[in-house]
A and B are shown apart, each in its own frame.
Chain A
Amino acid sequence: MLVQIAWRNIWRNKIRSLVIIIAVILGLWGGIFSDAFMQGMAEQQVYSSIHTETGHLQLNAPGFLLNHDMQLRIGDADSVVEQINRLPETEAAAATIQITAMASTASSSTGIIVNGIAPDTYAKVSDISKLMVNGDYFKNDRKNMVVVGQQLADKLRVKLHSRIVLTLQTVTGDIIYGAFKIEGIYRTHNSEFDKQMIYVQKDDLQSLVGFPSGAASLVRVLLQKDDDTKEVAEKLRSQFPAEQVQTWIELSPMQQVLSGTMTQMTIIFVGIILIALAFGIVNTMLMAVMDRTREIGMLLSIGMRPSKVFGMIVLETVFLSLTGAVVGILISIGTIYWFGKSGINLSMIAQGANAMGYNSVVYPALGAGFYFQLAIMVVVVAIIAGLIPARRAIRLKPAEAVRGD
């Protein structure tokens, strides 16, 4: 009976009900969307780090990363790659030669790191091939072509088809020069990366410095799932005890710092939005109750027990919040899906942030579990928020209430 009354009450005053429903929708959407947004930002950085910079895992001779000493290498890299490819969690693995060198033009020179890669295989472990802004990524098999970052091209003042001279050391310690032509220019989110990393065909580098064939400086591994990283790292450490195996977390300590801060900030923000929501509902309900003083007074004076009036108001709040929650979730799913596909372009909001692309496009994303967590939180908050005005309502003295104000 009470349920029917509550239900009808809701429809009687459409505007009032609508206001409460919208408040719940907004609060829920606000909480969910901001959570998704911040997750999107964090995932963006992690994705970038893994797919562009380090892969999930890297193997190299112990101490190699200290100074890129050419003498520290994986002798049987090809067989290592083969063995890693046999693991079920592996997406792909690639052996790379990495050497420090100087890149020179007529007017300037700078220190860089040369990566000798097998372009097709490498494209499976790194998305550098998709980040080209100019030219091609090793389209054909021409010798002595190089792919450089936009930042480096700017620093050396070169462009597509320009020639740069690399000064390197051979494995026997002699100095050797190599002329390379710029086939393509890439750009990532990390300008330091762009300034340093250049890519050439493994064969070209091998013949230039006399790197033994079949050997490599490091093996880069991409897994199918981020979560498998630690497990596979352990497997590889026992399978290849002579090599150093590092996860992307170990390779990019700054990542950890950034994601940690992000997570904590998210919690605080979502908390604040929930406070805003709760408050909005309390307020609206309070006002609504004031609006209904006469009506409530009427009910009390015809003998309805205060506890029943309380129950009625609580039920109304429950219906309204549930409705709001359902619609809110649907809208949230919709907007997150839509923005998740098209991305939110931050550079339109903060000027200059930016053409260089530090996370300028964010794809909001949220696990299903989060939706329910937040929805439940919001509904609970709404109901609790509705209790306060309900208690007020039943305290009204019937005579006063009937008289109105």
Chain B
Amino acid sequence: MKQIIILAWRNLWRNRRRTMITLASVFMAVILAIAIRSLQKGVYASMISNAVRFSTGYIQVHAKGYWDDQNINNSFEYDPSLSAVFQKNKDISLYVPRLESFALASSGPHTKGVAVTGIDPEKEDEMNGLAKKIIEGDYFNSQPQQGILIGDGLAEYLQLHLGDTLVLLGQGYHGATAAGQFPIQGIFHYPLDQMNNTMVFLSLPDAQLLFGAENSLTSISLMLQNENAISSAKEFIEKHVDSTYEVMEWPAMNKTLVQEIQGDNAGGIIMLGILYLVVAFGVFGTILMMTMERKKEFAAMIAVGMRRFKLTFMVIFETIFIGLIGIVSGTLIILPILIYFHRHPVALTGAAAETYQQFGIEPVMPASLDPSIFLYQGITVLCIAILSAFYPLWYINRIPVAGTLKQ
């Protein structure tokens, strides 16, 4: 067997041209497959990142049972040891505390139900750029007395301007009535109507006072450096906090987004399948032609006494070598290119880009460097190469030696 392997290897280099051509087909297959998959995954990762930035973050920590029954009574008291836990994990880049509840906003004859969020101004802005959405007035600053931030849709409906007073009325902690008056400090605008018409922001201390929930939070949202580390980050947190908390990943909190991505992903897989058909045939065609070209060579070897099955193995090894070399070299070449497009992504243009920008999202299509891409595509291409080798194998076993030699 060892002899055959050596023979296979030598064969490759005996006819450089032929080997290079075959190698090239594998090489291209790997590069293209990895490129497409990387782009697809990059776009999904960016979709997810944007969606979670404007809502729950990648992971959220609440008091146990809060997600199924979201009310102020299921808040938890903030414990500084939690921050210590978050800081210990390198994948967690930001933790954003919030106190969220529901209240009636009232001004004159108009009343409207609104979602009230008590925020840490700096952290919230770092997560989703709220400060940049302010179109009139100011964002929260470090002064002790703060007002309220409302959307322009709500301001219009309630006929309020900067400096006017907004009354909030609702149910506080343990059923106590929550009532407060706040001057309008800033008016913001989001491209989504829902946010403009129904969201108001208070500083965290103001919200806690309003709802009678001292030092309490309803959630802490976590953003990650590396979106592939969600599960490990979640496990890490669960290990370090007691069972009075629940730790949830974004798919559990945003089923619609999950469905959208799965839908797109299915489409992406079909595209990938089509690509594979094309490249697989490229590899196969090359190997087919190569086999035909080596008719005489094979016939000669059998004629001088090599057993057909040994010849078969030799060809298999040749194919494996070519496959591996092609895959490795292809991966090595495409990797730096993808790294470049990961850091400097392809830009989106047109109306889509504009809307993205209104949200404060970069309109780009980044490439993904998820290692699984390289692994899966590599393995698939290797399989294609080996399957293609079946033709020469079949051929070898049927070749009429004498006839071929005579040609």
Contacts and interface: CB of A to CB of B under 8 A. Distances in A.
CB–CB under 8 A between A and B in the complex? yes
Interface of A: 15-16, 19-20, 22-23, 26-27, 30, 33-34, 37-38, 41, 63, 65-67, 69, 111, 191-192, 253-254, 256-261, 264-265, 268-269, 272-273, 275-277, 279-280, 283-284, 286-288, 290-291, 344, 346-347, 349-354, 356, 358-360, 362, 404-405
A273 B289 contact: no
Interface of B: 15, 17-18, 21-22, 24-25, 28-29, 32, 35-36, 39-40, 43, 112-113, 153, 156-157, 191, 193, 197, 255-256, 259-260, 262-263, 265-267, 269-271, 274-275, 277-279, 281-282, 285-286, 288-290, 292-293, 296-297, 346, 348-353, 355-356, 365
Given A23-B281, A291-B292, A362-B267, A283 B24 contact: yes
14 contacts: A30-B277, A38-B267, A66-B153, A69-B157, A256-B351, A260-B350, A265-B39, A273-B278, A283-B25, A283-B28, A287-B286, A290-B18, A291-B292, A350-B269
Given A23-B282, A261-B352, A287-B286, A276 B270 contact: no
B97 to A, nearest CB: 27
A259 B356 CA distance: 13
Nearest to B29: A276
B263 A354 contact: yes
Given A272-B36, A287-B286, A287-B289, 17 more contacts: A19-B285, A19-B288, A23-B281, A26-B278, A37-B274, A38-B267, A65-B193, A69-B157, A256-B355, A261-B43, A264-B365, A279-B25, A351-B262, A352-B262, A358-B260, A358-B263, A360-B263
A350 B275 CA distance: 18
B123 to A, nearest CB: 27
Given A16-B289, A34-B271, A280 B355 contact: no
B156 A283 contact: no
Nearest to A344: B270
B21 A283 contact: yes
Contacts of A23: 281-282, 285
B35 A253 contact: no
B267 A26 contact: no
Nearest to B158: A67
A257 B352 contact: yes
Contacts of B266: 346-347, 349-350, 353
Contacts of A65: 193
Contacts of B197: 66-67
Contacts of B29: 276
B220 to A, nearest CB: 26
A177 to B, nearest CB: 18
Contact of B278 (A27, A258, A288, A291): A27
B267 A41 contact: yes
Per CB-CB distance, the 5 closest pairs between chain A and chain B, nearest first, are A260-B352, A280-B282, A353-B262, A287-B289, A350-B266
A353 B266 CA distance: 8
Contacts of B267: 37-38, 41, 346, 359, 362
B278 A276 contact: yes
Contact of A259 (B35, B193, B278, B352): B352
Contacts of B274: 30, 33-34, 37, 273
A247 to B, nearest CB: 13
Nearest to A27: B278
A253 B355 contact: yes
Nearest to A360: B263
Contact of B259 (A260, A273, A284, A356): A356
Contacts of B271: 34, 37-38, 269
Contacts of B39: 265, 268
A253 B354 CA distance: 10
Contacts of A344: 270
A22 B263 contact: no
Contacts of B28: 275-276, 279-280, 283
B348 A261 contact: yes
A23 B28 CA distance: 15
Contact of B21 (A63, A287, A350): A287
A200 B112 CA distance: 24
Nearest to B46: A261
A111 B112 CA distance: 12
Contact of A67 (B22, B36, B157, B263): B157
- Among the interface residues B18, B270, B289, which one has the most CB atoms of the partner chain A within 10 A? B289
A284 B28 CA distance: 13
Nearest to A269: B271
A260 B351 contact: yes
Nearest to A291: B293
B113 A277 contact: no
A390 B134 CA distance: 65
A69 B197 CA distance: 13
